[in-house]
A = this chain, B = another copy of it.
Amino acid sequence: MGYSYEIRDFDAGGRIGKFKLGEKILDTPNLFPVVSPFENLIPPKDLYHHFGVQSIFTNAYILYKNQEKNLEIISKGLHKHLEFPGIIATDSGAFQDYMYAGEIKIQPDEIEPFQEQIGSDCPVILDIPVQTTDPFELAENKINKTIHRAKENVLRRKRDDTAWFGPIHGSIYPELLKKSAIEMSKLDFGIYAIGGVVKTFIDYRFDLDVAILLEVKKWLRADRPLHMFGLGLPAFFSLAVACGADLFDSAAYILYAKDDRYFTLTGTKSLRDLYEFPCHCPVCTSYTPQELMKEDKQIRIVALAKHNLYHSFSEIRTIRNSIKEGTLWDLVEHRVHAHPKFIKALKVVKNNPEQFLNLLNLNQSRGQMILSDLSVYRPHFQYFRLKVANYTIPKERTHLFFIPELDLPSIQSNSVKNWIKLLKKHPQWPEMQLCLVSNILGIIPLELAEIYPASQHEGTVDPFQYVNLLHLLEKEISRFFTRNDIRSRQISILIPDTFRNEYQEEESFPIKTHIISILKDIIIKISHEADISILHNIPQKKE
């Protein structure tokens, strides 16, 4: 095996890895710009030298079909032909078949050996593309055939310095995605790749893309990079990486350029509609949009394609930085607010938290930001709630004392610190179980108050505005009281009139937006006999 993949860091479902193929290196997450096998407006060597591109994708099928040149390329080798010293991946024609169904007449035992002969680093087997419109049986037949071909491919391989792409299919059928991922995982592929998502992507059905990605990740071996074929839209990268994608390819950078379209984080813009260039990449610092509009079509395409590439790689780098920093969820929530369809896609993640729980990087220094009601479903928060669900109050603690979490998380607020100080002086303290009540996390027993991310988050939401959050908190709090017998215990709930906010100003306690206001009601639903006192101050030790 001529390749290796080493995971260096991780956050959310995303990871930073180093894929090595001989001397060639591919840092993941990363992007393969798609290049033509013959003529390119931006030569591949420029991609390598000026854009820091480590890997490109080209089409072996078109090379193979070119009977004038294919022998020459076999003898010269693909790297010399394209003048690209990095990793070259080659497509087998299956994608053409997928886009223009049934047009391609070629056999695996022709195109697969050809890819080895020309020296492709990462060839793709000739898989059978599944269309989203395929009925289940047809889709199943197709994936069975792809798996069969994959097995044949493994036996037929001649070179040991290539990393084959193993395409995963299944379209909208979870059981087929599962089967495809499991069966392909058993075979030795250097890179796995989800296929058949280009049409969902063109339709902006990012929610389907995410659902497919999450299903595949559930079953696929984790020790290889996962590529998503044909998803070249930078604003989608962070969400896809957070869900476990490591690699992308982009023909979009040049296809959009041909259509005079310019990438930005809030959507692609038509050059005609741009008043000025917002970016400071080498292209955007040499032209105004008006100047570029006046240039020849060819010059315009090159300029826009270059900008689109700079922009795409900026986003890849931003993502790698956030994984390092532990802020990938923050980034994702920022990016999805560029388009309603991205937000719809993030909601798919919200409904599948369990997949992220075993991927959590608990060695985090950065806090989690509460940016919307979706933030409270981040796996780190889910994980903490699970911790609380498993926390048992020691028997000897017969007095449960609840204080509200304030504007600073957990025990960081000065008012909270002060309340704790006063309570510790209370003669009953040894029998007390102190808990914070949080709008984000529910109950926080003092013993867990400094476990990540109880103390490491910023921002809040009003649970009485977000019905799902309210139900979640009610459920978690009920679970806490059901688990920890309350009939034999005394319960005190502090609902202060005022508190000191983070700016050290006296502020009214926001009772209408704090879950502690209904804590008593939740407890009474569990047991009518509960002994509950509502306090407005911490009881002081009598002199």
Contacts and interface: CB of A to CB of B under 8 A. Distances in A.
B280 A340 contact: no
Interface string A270-282: 0001111111111
A317 B467 contact: no
A337 interface: yes
B280 A314 contact: yes
A418 interface: no
Contacts of A310: 280
Nearest to A502: B203
A4 interface: no
A282 B285 contact: yes
Contact of A280 (B266, B279, B322, B373): B279
Which of A278, A280, A314, A334 has the largest number of chain B CB atoms within 10 A? A280
Contact of A317 (B265, B273, B278): B278
A310 B278 CA distance: 10
Nearest to A467: B465
Contact of A343 (B313, B322, B372): B372
B274 A321 contact: yes
Given A265-B334, A320-B276, A340 B460 contact: yes
Contacts of A334: 265-266, 334, 337-338
A314 B371 contact: no
B266 A331 contact: yes
A100 interface: no
A314 B278 contact: yes
Interface in A362-398: 369-373
Nearest to A277: B317
A484 to B, nearest CB: 30
A72 interface: no
Given A269-B321, A275-B324, A282-B280, A503 B340 contact: no
A327 interface: yes
Contact of A459 (B318, B327, B343, B460): B343
Contacts of A464: 467
B468 A266 contact: no
A450 interface: no
Nearest to A264: B318
Contact of A339 (B265, B311, B338, B369): B369
B467 A468 contact: no
A535 to B, nearest CB: 28
A466 interface: yes
Number of copies: 2
A215 interface: no
A269 B326 CA distance: 13
A468 B341 CA distance: 23
Interface string A436-466: 0000000000000000000000111000111
A266 B335 CA distance: 10
A333 interface: yes
Contacts of A465: 373, 466-468
A330 interface: yes
A529 interface: no
Contacts of A83: none
B370 A340 contact: yes
Contacts of A277: 317
A263 to B, nearest CB: 12
Interface string A59-88: 000000000000000000000000000000
Interface in A275-310: 275-282, 285, 310
Nearest to A306: B280
Interface string A147-173: 000000000000000000000000000
A371 B503 CA distance: 31
Given A264-B318, A280-B314, A337 B343 contact: no
A371 to B, nearest CB: 5
Interface of A: 203, 205, 264-266, 269, 273-282, 285, 310-311, 313-315, 317-318, 320-322, 324-325, 327, 330-331, 333-334, 337-341, 343-344, 369-373, 458-460, 464-468, 503
Given A266-B322, A334-B337, A337-B371, 6 more contacts: A276-B320, A278-B321, A282-B285, A339-B371, A340-B370, A466-B467
**The 4 A-B residue pairs with the shortest CB-CB distance in the complex, in nearest-first order:** A340-B459, A280-B281, A278-B318, A280-B310
